[in-house]
Amino acid sequence: AQRVTQPEKLLSVFKGAPVELKCNYSYSGSPELFWYVQYSRQRLQLLLRHISRESIKGFTADLNKGETSFHLKKPFAQEEDSAMYYCALSTSGTYKYIFGTGTRLKVLA
Amino acid sequence: EAGVVQSPRYKIIEKKQPVAFWCNPISGHNTLYWYLQNLGQGPELLIRYENEEAVDDSQLPKDRFSAERLKGVDSTLKIQPAELGDSAVYLCASSLGGRGYNEQFFGPGTRLTVL
């Protein structure tokens, strides 16, 4: 069965420190992978997707098919990065969306 | 533009009562999703529509949940009768096309409390 695992429920880092939010997936096909973010009192919104190979707000994520991972990274965390982050997978063909349980990032001053 | 609109934002009902949630997607988005989000969990897909057709309802508990998307625009999700375990946030999302790489735009959600 398809699954997305985010092992950390909470990640606290100091401002200016590097950040890595982990995401591992289980899927035998060719996945589409995403990171969604929810800031306080805001809607869930797309942060980035692996197909675009883009950097958004300084965040990047690389799909590692060998390790079945799609970790989200930022070299220098900012206080405004504090939010809930969800990794999501879309299956090929059926386009079924599966979300992880989320990681709350707290950036401390 | 308002984005995806959901109503009501909050609903408190007693168990065994019916409840309905409404969603208006972004104009032109033919794909609509209903998700259930329990506390501390990620969204879980309940049903996905392509226009007015439900193309994936495998996770919808059909004994008590029903959904419709008449005319391929607005959608309604209903629970009848509600149970205590149905307390959660119900999210609606829409996208331009159902391809897996399409961005989903989420509504603010409806927080349901069943007493």
For B78-103, b/e burial (b = at least 16 CB within 10 A) is ebeebeeebbbbbbbbbbeebebebe
Task: Look over chain A and give the mean of its residue pLDDT values, rounded to a whole number.
Answer: 93
pLDDT grade for B92, boundaries at 50, 70 and 90: very high
**Quick check: A40 contacting B, CB < 8 Å?**
no
Task: Look over chain B and give the mean of its residue pLDDT values, rounded to a whole number.
Answer: 93
In this prediction, residues B91-99 reach a mean pLDDT of 86
CA distance A109 to chain B (A): 25
- Given a cut of 90, is residue A50 above it in pLDDT? no
The C-alpha atoms of residue A102 and residue A25 are separated, in whole angstroms, by: 13
Render pLDDT for A5-42 as a digit per residue (tens, 0 to 9). 999 999 999 999 999 999 999 998 888 999 999 999 99
What does the block give as tokens for B99?
A: 């391809």
The C-alpha atoms of residue A47 and residue A33 are separated, in whole angstroms, by: 11
In this prediction, residues B29-34 reach a mean pLDDT of 94
CA distance B115 to chain A (A): 25
